């Protein structure tokens, strides 16, 4: 290998060569940019990693923002493909809201880097890690190794399924929106207050509906419900996955069946993106019931906002509890 | 930081117990109980807010005094005082405790680690069996029976608000090579993204990929015959990239790169820089479109130009077309997927006695059978860059098993018919394992 010395002459020639290549492209870009941006008025463009964050941002942002999510509600948020089409959304964004706690570590960082958008780079004003507002459970104490499976070393990132956290997130997002668009700060605060009231009423209803089932035992596929079960007082006794992110193994499944029989647990909660084969066979052997709950807004067509998400899941759960009384 | 949380929680707990005692002292009416509950709730909210702030502080990697000092010698005379004052101010605002700053800025484990880059090591072990003798002038490099093919160390971090840095250092069994090491400027105006350093060039698809992300153990014949083999066009230089506005839903992206002009070596040599002016250039245009939410099409045009190893005035031009069709149903994205890919490459190499025009291609398909199993195949055909009338052909079948996201076991049966009319049948085995936090690769 020869060592390169950066002579001035070389550099100038280099630039000449590259300019010829990209000159046309740049001229084209400049022309197109000029026509595209002014039409946007001053609506804040918000992009969120998941649909839940989008739903909450929409609630407090109202008509002053346009919001789009990257992952779909029925998609495993750990494994989203970093498609270039997402770059088209990100390059226009004024604000990027992430779930954080390394949930999106496998796909979001290269998208942010490639977006060419300085506003949403990590640490910039338009980058919001929403986990800072929420109560986070299961923060591992001590050393984390991958022998534990795909454990999130900063805590469990599935934190949005607790209405209390929903309120905290909405408040945090409203604050951030007000910071970016100070003229409408009062508007965002007002919308948060309205959401707060609405949520309090809804929460009373949900709590009352779930009250008879407090302490009921359930099994979940992935450990994605800690905040939900804490809020509604359910008791998770095991997981279909032997360890987070590791697909079910026969020996673990047999153990789980034994445990469910001993504990008289009849409910297996499964996210819509997991295969139902193992859960179904567990259900068949334990006389239990597989419940395909929704972890996120948009998991089904009619689950379009944060309230409907809880309505849907609680309705499913109650029916399942009644059926396995 | 932990202490800070403890102190905060202790204070809050005291407050709660005091208020509880007070209320028990008086006649405990329903109103009192509600007020106490409200108070506890408020305090709970404050703890959660504080915890959140602490997490953010930890991950925001605030620069401790130790890190600011080396950066200041450029301003002689006023170096020592300001950084300390600044950092105390910054942290004083968060904690209000002076001793806190000293603990934090010292050898505190968490703080020191927070500034480290993400470190990863990826091991790539390859075994080979069968007859793999390569004819004397073929450009393939044979795999030995057992080999720790590569140990790739990745060091990645955000440098400052304007840039990130990525290093990939490749340890072979005998030597060390800087596979890539570059800074990416992420905050340039007008949506430009620039890279400076040593990098795999944007020529086509396979050339940009590290060994461990390839869907095969080896690289296609066209890569070894025309584009520099395993190292490919991997050189020091700079790169400018930008998304080009296009009709809605269409992603267009243009990249222009300038390198020193040294790529590949020996029979696999592509470019050679004889003088400073002998830089090589690479241009790439990428078009991408989502056909449905689970299917997408990715097309690319590539061009590379540089001087070759024949002599100072001999040029090589490379032209490439690549196409990728991907399918991944979102509801079952962790279980099933399909990738079909092809690259066509033309090489124009000036040499004596006459210019050689060689063509090569591969076409591959990979299907994910289940969460852990992948099966794939590849067809290869390529002329040789220095003797374009010689054509090598080949084919492979690949089976891959994923114990987890962090390890992979792969077997590949490879058949090659060299232009010398020599056939080889080989069985390749590979184990890839990954330690630490390896940043995701571009799609």
CB A95 within 8 A of CB A126: yes
In this structure, what DSSP letter does residue A32 have? H
pLDDT at B298 over 80: yes
CB A271 within 8 A of CB A293: yes
Model pLDDT, residue B266: 78
φ, ψ for residue B17, nearest 5 deg? -65, -35
Do B86 and B152 fall into the same domain?
no
Chain A residue numbers touching B205 (CB-CB < 8 A): none
Q: How far is CA A166 from CA A76, A131, A157, A173, in A?
A: 20, 11, 13, 10
- The better pLDDT of the pair B27, B285 is held by B285
- CB-CB under 8 Å, A116 with B188: yes
Chain A residue numbers touching B249 (CB-CB < 8 A): 85, 88
φ, ψ for residue A192, nearest 5 deg? -65, -45
What's the number of CA atoms in the CB half-sphere (13 Å) around residue B126?
19
Q: Is the dihedral of CA A49, A76, B441, B221 positive or negative?
A: negative
- CB-CB under 8 Å, B335 with A75: no
Give the closest of B192, B293, B406 to A72, CB-based.
B293
Do B99 and B132 fall into the same domain?
no
Total domain count, chain B: 2
CB A239 within 8 A of CB A267: no
What's the number of CA atoms in the CB half-sphere (13 Å) around residue B328?
21
Structural domain for B325, as ranges: 119-436
- Which two tokens mark B398? 């690949």
Helix locations, chain A, DSSP H: 8-36, 51-61, 84-90, 108-114, 163-180, 185-210, 226-232, 250-263, 277-286, 306-323
Residue A299's Cβ-count burial label (10 Å; 0-12, 13-18, 19+) is: buried
- CB-CB under 8 Å, B443 with A110: yes
- Among chain A residues, CA nearest to B44: A135
Q: Which of B60, B79, B113 is the last residue of a domain?
A: B113
- CB-CB under 8 Å, B333 with A75: yes
Q: Is residue B224 part of a domain?
A: yes
CB B139 within 8 A of CB B225: yes
A220: Cβ contacts below 8 Å, ≥ 6 apart: A236, A239, A240, A268, A269, A270
Average pLDDT across chain A, whole number = 87
Give the closest of B60, B193, B237 to A123, CB-based.
B60
The string of pLDDT tens digits covering residues A219-240 is: 999 999 999 999 999 999 999 9
Do B105 and B133 fall into the same domain?
no
Q: Which residue has the tokens 């890190």?
A: B67
Q: Which of B51, B82, B113 is the last residue of a domain?
A: B113
Chain A residue numbers touching B187 (CB-CB < 8 A): 118, 121, 124
B146 touches chain A (CB under 8 A): no
Cβ of B161: how many Cβ atoms within 10 Å? 12
Chain B residue numbers touching A155 (CB-CB < 8 A): 55
Crossing angle for the helix pair A306-323 and A185-210, to the nearest 10 degrees: 10
Rounded CA separation A199/A77 (Å)? 25
pLDDT band at A21 (very low <50, low <70, confident <90, very high): very low
Q: Is residue B28 part of a domain?
A: no
Rounded CA separation A266/A179 (Å)? 48
- Among chain A residues, CA nearest to B277: A10
Indicate left, alpha or beta for B190 from its phi (over 0: left) and psi (-120 to 50: alpha).
Answer: left
Q: What is the mean pLDDT of residues B366-392?
A: 95
Q: How far is CA B226 from CA B147, B262, B267, B317, in A?
A: 25, 14, 10, 10
CA distance to partner chain A, nearest, from residue B283 (Å): 7
CB A70 within 8 A of CB A49: yes
Give the closest of A1, A26, A87 to B243, CB-based.
A87
Q: Which residue has the tokens 């005692």?
A: B21
Model pLDDT, residue B60: 61
Work out how many CB contacts closer than 8 A connect A with B. Answer: 182
Domains (ranges, CATH) in chain A? 40-204 (3.40.50.1980), 211-323 (3.40.50.1980)
Do B289 and B197 fall into the same domain?
yes
Crossing angle for the helix pair A163-180 and A185-210, to the nearest 10 degrees: 170
Give the closest of A28, A109, A123 to B244, CB-based.
A28
Q: Is residue B425 part of a domain?
A: yes
pLDDT at A33 over 60: no
Do B332 and B205 fall into the same domain?
yes
With the CA atoms of B97, B102, B105 and B107 taken in that order, what torsion angle do they form, in degrees rounded to the nearest 10?
A: -130
Do B69 and B195 fall into the same domain?
no
Do B403 and B271 fall into the same domain?
yes
CA distance to partner chain A, nearest, from residue B182 (Å): 13
B79 touches chain A (CB under 8 A): no
- CB-CB under 8 Å, A84 with B298: yes
Model pLDDT, residue B22: 52
Give the closest of B55, B161, B439 to A124, CB-based.
B161
Do B216 and B159 fall into the same domain?
yes
Do B136 and B102 fall into the same domain?
no
Do B123 and B98 fall into the same domain?
no
- CB-CB under 8 Å, B258 with A116: no
Give the closest of B55, B188, B372 to A247, CB-based.
B372
What's the number of CA atoms in the CB half-sphere (13 Å) around residue B320?
29
ipTM over 0.85: no
Do B305 and B326 fall into the same domain?
yes
B56 touches chain A (CB under 8 A): yes
Q: What is the mean pLDDT of residues B168-187?
A: 94
- Among chain A residues, CA nearest to B407: A146
Gyration radius of chain A over CA positions: 24
Chain A residue numbers touching B178 (CB-CB < 8 A): none
Q: Which of B82, B113, B144 is the last residue of a domain?
A: B113
- CB-CB under 8 Å, B404 with A150: yes
Do B93 and B212 fall into the same domain?
no
CA distance to partner chain A, nearest, from residue B187 (Å): 4
* Domain CATH code at residue B208: 2.40.160.10
Rounded CA separation B240/A23 (Å)? 12
The string of pLDDT tens digits covering residues B118-150 is: 899 999 999 999 988 888 888 888 899 999 999
For a pLDDT cut of 90, what percent of chain A falls above it? 77
Rounded CA separation A304/A300 (Å)? 8
- Which two tokens mark B320? 């490439």
- Among chain B residues, CA nearest to A125: B161
Give the closest of B158, B249, B441 to A110, CB-based.
B441
Q: Is residue B51 part of a domain?
A: yes
Q: Is residue B338 part of a domain?
A: yes
Q: How far is CA B173 from CA A94, B126, B150, in A?
A: 48, 12, 7
pLDDT band at B106 (very low <50, low <70, confident <90, very high): very low
- CB-CB under 8 Å, B184 with A113: yes
| Across A85-99, B43-57, B318-332, least confident range | B43-57
Chain B residue numbers touching A122 (CB-CB < 8 A): 158
The string of pLDDT tens digits covering residues B404-439 is: 888 999 999 999 999 999 999 999 999 999 998 777
Q: Which of A65-69, A139-143, B18-22, B47-51 has the highest mean pLDDT?
A: A65-69
B110 touches chain A (CB under 8 A): no
């Amino acid at each position: 290998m020869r060592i390169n010395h950066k002579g001035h002459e070389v550099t100038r020639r280099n630039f000449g060569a590259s300019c010829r290549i990209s000159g046309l492209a740049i001229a084209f870009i400049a022309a197109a940019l000029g026509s595209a941006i002014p039409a946007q008025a001053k609506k804040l463009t918000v992009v969120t990693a998941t649909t839940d964050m989008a739903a909450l941002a929409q609630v407090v942002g109202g008509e002053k923002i346009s919001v789009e999510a990257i992952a779909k509600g029925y998609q495993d948020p750990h494994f989203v493909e970093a498609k270039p089409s997402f770059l088209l959304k990100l390059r226009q964004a004024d604000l990027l809201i992430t779930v954080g706690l390394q949930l999106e570590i496998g796909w979001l960082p290269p998208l942010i880097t490639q977006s060419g958008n300085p506003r949403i780079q990590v640490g910039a004003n338009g980058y919001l890690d929403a986990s800072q507002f929420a109560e986070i459970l299961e923060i591992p104490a001590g050393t984390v190794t991958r022998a534990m499976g795909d454990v999130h070393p900063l805590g469990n990132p599935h934190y949005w399924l607790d209405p209390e956290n929903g309120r905290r997130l909405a408040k945090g997002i409203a604050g951030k929106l007000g910071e970016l668009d100070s003229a409408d700060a009062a508007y965002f605060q007002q919308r948060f207050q309205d959401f707060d009231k609405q949520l309090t009423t809804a929460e009373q209803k949900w709590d009352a509906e779930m009250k008879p089932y407090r302490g009921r035992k359930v099994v979940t596929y992935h450990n994605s419900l800690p905040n939900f079960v804490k809020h509604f007082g359910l008791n998770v006794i095991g997981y279909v996955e032997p360890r987070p992110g590791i697909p079910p193994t026969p020996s673990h499944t047999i153990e789980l069946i034994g445990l469910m029989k001993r504990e008289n647990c009849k409910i297996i909660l499964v996210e819509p993106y997991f295969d139902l084969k193992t859960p179904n066979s567990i259900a068949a052997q334990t006389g239990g019931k597989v419940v395909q709950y929704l972890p996120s807004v948009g998991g089904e067509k009619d689950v379009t906002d944060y309230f409907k998400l809880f309505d849907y899941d609680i309705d499913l759960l109650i029916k399942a509890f009644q059926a396995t009384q | 930081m932990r202490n800070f949380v403890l102190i905060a929680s202790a204070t809050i707990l005291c407050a709660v117990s005091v208020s509880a005692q007070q209320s028990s002292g008086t006649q405990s009416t329903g109103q009192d109980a509600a007020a106490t509950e409200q108070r506890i709730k408020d305090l709970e909210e404050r703890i959660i807010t504080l915890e959140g702030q602490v997490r953010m502080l930890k991950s925001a990697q605030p620069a401790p005094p130790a890190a600011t000092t080396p950066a200041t010698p450029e301003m002689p005379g006023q170096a020592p005082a300001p950084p300390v004052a600044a950092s105390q101010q910054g942290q004083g605002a968060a904690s209000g405790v002076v001793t806190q700053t000293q603990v934090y800025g010292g050898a505190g484990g968490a703080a020191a680690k927070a500034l480290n880059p993400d470190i990863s090591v990826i091991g790539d072990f390859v075994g080979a069996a069968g007859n793999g003798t390569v004819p004397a002038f073929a450009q393939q490099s044979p795999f030995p029976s057992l080999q720790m093919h590569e140990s790739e160390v990745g060091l990645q971090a955000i440098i400052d608000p304007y840039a990130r840095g990525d290093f990939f250092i490749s340890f072979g069994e005998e030597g060390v090579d800087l596979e890539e090491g570059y800074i990416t400027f992420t905050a340039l105006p007008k949506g430009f993204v620039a890279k400076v350093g040593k990098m795999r060039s944007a020529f086509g698809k396979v050339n940009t990929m590290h060994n461990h992300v390839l869907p095969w153990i080896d690289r296609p014949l066209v890569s070894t015959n025309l584009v520099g083999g395993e190292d490919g066009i991997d050189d020091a230089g700079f790169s400018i990239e930008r998304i080009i506005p296009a009709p809605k839903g269409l992603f267009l992206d243009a990249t222009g790169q300038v390198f020193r002009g040294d790529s590949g070596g020996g029979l696999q040599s592509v470019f050679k820089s004889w003088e400073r002016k002998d830089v090589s250039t690479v241009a790439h245009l990428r078009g991408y479109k989502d056909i449905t939410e689970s299917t997408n099409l990715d097309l690319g045009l590539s061009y590379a130009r540089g001087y070759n190893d024949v002599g100072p005035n001999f040029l090589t031009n490379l032209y490439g077309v690549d196409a990728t069709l991907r399918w991944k149903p979102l509801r079952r994205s962790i279980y099933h997927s399909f990738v079909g890919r092809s690259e066509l490459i033309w090489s124009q190499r000036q040499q004596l006695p006459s210019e050689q025009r060689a063509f090569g291609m591969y076409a591959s398909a990979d299907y994910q059978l289940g969460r852990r199993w992948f099966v794939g195949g590849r067809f290869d055909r390529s002329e040789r860059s220095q003797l374009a009338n010689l054509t090598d052909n080949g084919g492979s079948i690949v089976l891959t098993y994923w114990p987890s996201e962090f390890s992979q076991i792969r077997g590949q049966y490879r058949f090659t018919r060299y232009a010398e009319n020599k056939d080889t049948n080989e069985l390749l085995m590979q184990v890839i394992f990954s330690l630490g936090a390896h940043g995701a690769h571009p799609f």
